[in-house]
Each structure stands twice: as C-alpha cells, then as structure tokens.
C-alpha cells in the first residue's frame, strides 16, 4: 500500500538500485491495489523512475497468489508483499510471495534471476 513504511522502503530500494537494471533489457514495475490517483502522488513524492500500476479491482494480486482477503486494521483485499521476475516470454522465473508484510523480498535473488 502506498505511503506505508515497508512498501515505501521496498520501492525506494528498487528506485535507488534502478541503474543496475538499466541496460539489462529489464523493466521494473510496481503494482498495488491502491487507486491510480494515490499511486500517481506516491510516485511523484518518491521520485520513482518506474511505473506504478493500480490493481484496484484486485485481479492481478489474486491471479498471482499475492492477496490477503483480510489484513490488519480490518482492511479487506490487500496485496501481499511479493516480487516476480518474468522472462521475455512472460514466464515467471522468480517468485516470492511473503506472508509477513513486514518482511522485504530477497533483492539478491531478484538480481540473480534478472541476470540469468
């Protein structure tokens, strides 16, 4: 969720290491269930160089198995923290869906998958 501590830290890590992915024929994209308007403000405030896409209808989060029906503070339908690397054919070559929203994905594993 935009503007929350761990999500901001995760995307800022990607922002700050963005140069690593340039020239690798890789695209970085963030997806959450926030509205497009919230994500536009979040992107502007944090100066993210990559697109933030809205899964407001929660279809992508559910399709990728990265979805909490019930979350903290009685929130319903929130994306789980996750990281996916897809190859040029759209096949998932790295997948990490975290049950604990306070944890961060394994950025080294993501880099290895992109390099493969």
Name the pLDDT band for 25 (thresholds 50, 70, 90): confident
Residues, the chain: 116
pLDDT at 22: 83
- 76: its two tokens: 């319903």
Which residue out of 2, 7, 14, 113 is catalytically annotated? Answer: 7
Q: Note the pLDDT tens digit of each residue in 28-87.
A: 999 999 999 999 999 999 999 999 999 999 999 999 999 999 888 887 888 999 999 999
Rounded to whole angstroms, the Cα distance separating 17 from 113 reads: 15
- Is 12 considered catalytic here? no
Query: What's this model's pTM, rounded to 2 decimal places?
Result: 0.86
């Amino acid at each position: 969720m935009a503007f929350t501590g761990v999500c901001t830290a995760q995307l800022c890590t990607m922002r700050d290491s963005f140069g690593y992915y340039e020239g690798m024929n890789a695209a970085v994209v963030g997806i959450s269930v926030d509205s497009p308007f919230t994500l536009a403000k979040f992107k502007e405030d944090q100066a993210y160089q990559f697109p933030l896409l809205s899964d407001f209808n929660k279809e992508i989060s559910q399709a990728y198995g990265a979805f909490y029906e019930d979350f903290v503070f009685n929130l319903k339908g929130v994306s789980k923290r996750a990281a996916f690397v897809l190859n040029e054919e759209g096949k998932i070559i790295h997948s990490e869906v975290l049950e604990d929203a306070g944890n961060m994905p394994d950025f080294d594993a993501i880099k290895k998958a992109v390099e493969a």
